[in-house]
C-alpha cells in the first residue's frame, strides 16, 4: 500500500521534499471549512505541486447550506488555476447533518470538479446518520480508524453492501519531524492498492507522460506499463461497465463484442472477477472478465 498525509494550518510549515523522502506519495490539503478558506491552503497547494499527488478537502460545517459550502470549496480550489490530481474530499466529522444535505454537496462538487468527491469520516459517525442512499455508497470511502490491525473497520452500510475503502487514515500520531511538518504530529493514510493503482486512479484517462513526470517514474518502466494494463477483448455481444466492482453498482455504459480494454486491478465480488478499466472505453469503470478473453502480448 502507498502512504500519504493530510494537512491543514495546524501543520504550520512543511518541507515537501522531506515529506516525499519519508515515503509519502500523496497529500490531501484542507482548502475550506464552511464558508472560510484555510489560511495555509494556497501556500501548501502551490508548495506541494510536482512533488506529491494532491487533493483538496472541505471540512463540513453544520448549519451552513450545503450548496454554499460546495461553492466556497470550488471557488477556493479553482481560483488557484489548478484542481489537483486527486478527487476532492468531503470531510464529515461534525453534526448535525443529514444524508440529503450530503447528497446536495456531493452532486454540486461533482458538477463543478467534474469528479465525484471522496467521503471521509469515522465508521461510528456514518452509522449514526442511518442508512445512506446509493449515491453516497457509490462514493470512494476514506475511513478514519486508528488501529494496528491489517484492515480498518467499515461503516455498517458499506459492510452490508460488500463495499470497501479507497483510503484509510490509520493514525494521527505520525512523526512530524520525519515527514517535514512544523507540528509534532501528522495524520498518515494508506491507499488501497500499489503505486500503479494510485496513478491510474489519479489520472483517469489522462496523458501518462504527465504521470511519469509528476511521480518521477521515468526510470521505473514496469510501473508505467501497468498504467496501460493487461489487454482483454470482449466476447459477449454486450457487456455492462459499472461504477464499482459488483452488481450493486450502477451501470455506466456498454462494451460490445470485439472491444479491447486495458485492465488494471481485479476484484472478486458477486461470483465474478471485476477488472478496473485503465485504457480504452469507460476508463475507471469495472466489468466482469468472465465475458472477456485475455490477449497475448
pLDDT band for position 222 (cuts 50, 70, 90): very low
The larger pLDDT score, comparing residue 1 to residue 215, is at: 1
Ramachandran category for residue 232: left, alpha or beta (phi over 0 → left; psi -120 to 50 → alpha): beta
Q: Report the pLDDT value the prediction gives residue 205, as an integer from 0 to 100.
A: 52
- Residues 6+ away with beta carbon under 8 Å from 41: 29, 30, 31, 32, 56, 76
Q: What is the dihedral of CA 116, 120, 125, 126, to 10 degrees?
A: 30
The tens digit of pLDDT for each residue in 241-294 reads: 998 888 988 888 899 999 999 887 788 888 999 998 877 788 778 899 999 999
Domains and CATH numbers, the chain: 2-193 (3.20.20.80), 229-294 (2.30.30.40)
Take residue 159 and report the three cell numbers written for it. Answer: 459492510
Decide: helix, strand or coil at residue 273.
strand
> Which tens digits make up the pLDDT trace of 201-219?
888 755 454 455 454 443 3
Instruction: Label the pairing between strands 272-279 and 286-288.
Output: antiparallel
Query: How far is 279 from 53, CA to CA, in rounded Å?
Result: 21
Mean pLDDT, rounded, for 58-71: 98
pTM score: 0.73
Of the chain, the end-to-end C-alpha distance in Å amounts to 28
Amino acid at each position: 500500500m502507498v502512504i500519504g498525509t493530510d494537512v491543514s494550518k495546524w501543520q504550520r510549515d512543511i518541507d515537501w521534499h522531506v515529506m516525499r523522502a519519508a515515503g509519502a506519495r500523496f497529500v490531501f490539503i484542507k482548502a475550506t471549512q464552511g464558508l472560510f478558506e484555510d489560511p495555509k491552503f494556497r501556500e501548501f497547494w502551490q508548495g506541494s505541486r510536482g512533488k506529491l499527488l494532491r487533493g483538496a478537502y472541505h471540512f463540513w460545517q453544520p448549519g451552513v447550506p450545503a450548496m454554499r459550502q460546495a461553492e466556497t470549496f470550488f471557488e477556493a480550489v479553482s481560483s488557484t488555476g489548478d484542481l489537483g490530481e486527486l478527487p476532492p474530499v468531503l470531510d464529515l466529522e461534525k453534526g448535525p447533518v443529514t444524508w440529503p444535505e450530503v447528497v446536495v454537496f456531493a452532486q454540486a462538487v461533482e458538477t463543478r470538479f467534474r469528479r465525484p468527491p471522496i467521503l471521509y469520516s469515522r465508521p461510528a459517525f456514518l452509522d449514526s446518520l442511518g442508512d445512506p442512499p446509493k449515491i453516497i455508497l457509490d462514493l470512494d470511502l476514506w475511513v478514519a480508524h486508528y488501529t494496528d490491525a491489517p484492515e480498518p473497520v467499515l461503516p455498517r452500510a458499506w459492510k452490508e453492501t460488500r463495499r470497501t475503502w479507497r483510503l484509510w487514515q490509520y493514525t494521527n500520531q505520525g512523526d512530524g519531524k520525519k515527514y517535514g511538518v512544523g507540528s509534532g504530529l501528522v495524520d498518515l493514510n494508506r491507499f488501497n492498492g500499489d503505486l500503479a493503482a494510485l496513478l491510474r486512479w489519479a489520472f483517469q484517462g489522462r496523458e501518462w507522460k504527465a504521470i511519469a513526470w509528476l511521480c518521477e517514474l521515468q526510470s521505473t518502466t514496469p510501473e508505467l506499463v501497468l498504467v496501460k494494463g493487461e489487454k482483454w477483448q470482449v466476447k459477449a455481444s454486450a457487456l455492462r461497465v459499472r461504477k464499482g466492482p459488483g452488481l450493486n453498482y450502477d451501470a455506466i455504459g456498454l462494451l460490445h463484442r470485439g472491444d479491447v480494454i486495458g485492465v488494471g486491478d481485479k476484484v472478486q465480488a458477486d461470483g465474478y472477477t471485476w477488472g478496473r478499466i485503465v485504457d480504452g472505453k469507460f476508463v475507471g469503470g469495472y466489468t466482469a472478465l468472465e465475458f472477456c478473453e485475455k490477449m497475448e502480448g
